[in-house]
Structure 1
Amino acid sequence: MKNARTGRALAKQVSEYLLFFVAQRHNQHINVYRID
C-alpha cells in the first residue's frame, strides 16, 4: 500500500513538473517573437 501511495504522489509531482516545464518553454517561445 505504501508503495502505491508513493508512486501516485511521485506521478503527480512529475506531471506537475512537466506542465511547468512546458509552460516555461512556451513562454520563452513567445518571448522570442515578441520584441518590445
Structure 2
Amino acid sequence: HWRNARTHTLHDPARWKYHLIGNQLLNGIAPPRHAWN
C-alpha cells in the first residue's frame, strides 16, 4: 500500500541522519539533541 511505502521512507534512520548532517554542513543548522524533538 502506498502509505506503508511512505511510512518506511520517512522512518529510515540512515536517511534521516544524512539529512541532519547535510543540513548542518550546508546551512549551519545544528541537529537536535534527540531525533524525536
TM score, norm. by length of structure 2 = 0.41
Q: Considering fraction of residues, name the structure with more helix.
A: 1
